[in-house]
Amino acid sequence: EQAEYLRKALPVMPTQMAADGKHSQVPLAELDVGDRVLVRPGETIPADGRVETGHTSVNEALLTGESTPRHKAAGDVVVGGSINIESPLTVVITTVGMDTVLASIMRLLERAQGEKPDITRLADRAASWFVSAVVLLAGFVALYWWQQAPESWLPIVVSVLVVTCPCALSLATPAALTAATGALTRLGVLTTRGHALETLARASHVIFDKTGTLTEGRLRLEHVELLGRLDRARCLEIAAALEQASEHPIAHALGAEAPARLQVEAISATPVCGIEGLVAGARYRIGTPDFVRGLQSSLGVAAPPAAVAGVVLGDMQGFLAHFEFGDRLRDQAAATVARLKALGIEVELLSGDQAAVVQRVADELGIRRYQARCLPQDKLRHIQALQASGAVVAMVGDGVNDAPVLAAAQVSLAMGGGTQLAHASADMVLLSEQLPHLADAIQTSRRTLAIIRQNLAWALVYNLVALPLAAAGWIAPWMAAIGMSTSSLVVVVNALRLRGRPDE
């Protein structure tokens, strides 16, 4: 159901733009990398690409579950399956066919649908045993009524065979799982393995990575401490100019604060240490304090305050500024942690970041158990220790370094903006990147198991009541047909309750 829903979201005949500017409708399968397409307001973007001209808002709810449109302009990446809202776009196709984001999501869905959770396999085995038992019982009933009332044996045997409902037993689990995964997909939570919902419902611990999971994973400039003769604006201009050729997150953070209008000459980068260059004839360095200090004369230059660490800017006369960066917490992260605790789940934080940073995040979110400076093997050992004590661990991460622990946890969730390796290692993908949807998924998984139990109980009670009545000759074949159909219908209707909100 979900894969077909995603497949139908793409346009059948997108509008291709030729080199001479002419438009033509072409089949989606004929698009190739480098082709230019026109996407009018209200139309669906046919494949992954980059905006060439135009600016608009794009609805990516199909892929992320987030209904708030995102602004797109020239140079921005767009994903096939998202909907253009406001004005026309010209998009250059960068990925087609099985390499698109939508195709990768459908592959994950197909993998999940091909796997049966333990509870489904158990129900299937029970249904097969039940059928064998019913056939054997029908033989005994036929023999009994042949001796007691030969004219009645056939209608009674037909009633016994028809009134029993192995369909209800077999439908009890898949109907509920299909409804639940469909509801979660619409929220932006993609279930990629069959056991995920069943295991998530039993989770006793949720363990978070920090960067990119509880936080947005994007550094922001939080504070500038002036240490020299230049004002804040000038320090930012120089720092942004030095960092303009770098792809480091610090460079992006500085670039967001100040446009790189100054010309830099003789620029050179020292890995792990920083960058040096000439700005308006003066030599500057930005990076670690020791790296910047190496530029300065040993005479008459005061050391920076003891509290200064991290990224500093300086010239040959002394230190000029200290830049403090931080990673913003995701919206509603604290509320999500509180909801998980209210659900009776132990929440922990494992991060490779500095102890002070991890402690601050844990304190802000109300997480009592946390560890800093964790290597992947440290996280793995911690999860294995919890599992050895009987815990059912749900791991939430986003990076390559999280892949081992995502694979080791009983159930794992990767953030939608995480790496492909994290997605491949995870049982569920939080495409929406909205942390509250994690708590929604847990509530939905618990409701799913409850409804599966209700369905199985109903199927069992129905057959225990209907079978003796049919064997006693009190149920006519037409009544048996109605009863069997009604039993299956009750199971399906009960499962459809999962299509609503988790708190309904």
| Annotated catalytic residue 209 | yes
Look-up of token digits 């992320």: 64
**CB contact at 8 A, 160 and 152:** no
Helix (H) / strand (E) containing 66: none
3-state secondary structure (DSSP) of residue 472: coil
Three-state secondary structure call for residue 413: strand
Q: Which of 20, 32, 118, 209 is catalytic?
A: 209
d(CA 447, CA 435): 19
Alpha-carbon gap, residue 104 to 8, rounded angstroms? 15
Nearest to 47 by CA among 85, 82, 103, 96: 96
At 342 the three-state DSSP class reads: helix
For residue 380, report the phi and psi dihedrals to the nearest 5 degrees: -60, -45
How far apart CA 28 and CA 50 sit, in angstroms, is 17
Main-chain dihedrals φ then ψ at residue 499, nearest 5 degrees: -75, -10
Residues paired with 77 in a beta bridge? 50
Contact of 37 with 93, CB cutoff 8 Å: yes
Neighbouring CB atoms inside 10 A of 7's CB total 12
With residues binned 3-state (H G I as helix, E B as strand, rest as coil), the percentages for the chain, rounded to 5, are 50, 20, 30
Q: Show which residues are catalytic.
A: 209
